[in-house]
């Protein structure tokens, strides 16, 4: 999945020297991503990446209902 920030505003941090430096908003995204499977037990979280104005993540739906 990919989620973009409204009007592509850079809210999650910045790219510096080829790496992503997340700010507090980016840290919130990271935290929420890590806890999704607690709220939705039928999913498996795979690779993800936070970018300055969007987020990519792979969610595997584990055959639930």
Q: Which one, of 49, 62, 52, lies nearest residue 1 by Cα? A: 49
Classified as helix, coil or strand, 2 is strand
Query: What confidence category does residue 44 fall into, taking pLDDT thresholds of 50, 70 and 90?
Result: very high
- For position 63, what pLDDT does the model report? 73
CA-to-CA distance for 26 and 4, rounded, in angstroms? 13
Query: What confidence category does residue 35 fall into, taking pLDDT thresholds of 50, 70 and 90?
Result: very high
Asked if residues 64 and 42 have their Cβ atoms less than 8 Å apart, the reply is: yes
């Amino acid at each position: 999945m990919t989620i973009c920030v409204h009007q592509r505003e850079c809210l999650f941090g910045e790219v510096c020297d080829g790496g992503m430096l997340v700010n507090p908003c980016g840290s919130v995204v990271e935290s929420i991503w890590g806890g999704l499977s607690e709220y939705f037990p039928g999913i498996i979280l795979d690779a993800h990446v936070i970018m300055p104005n969007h987020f990519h993540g792979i969610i595997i739906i584990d055959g639930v209902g």
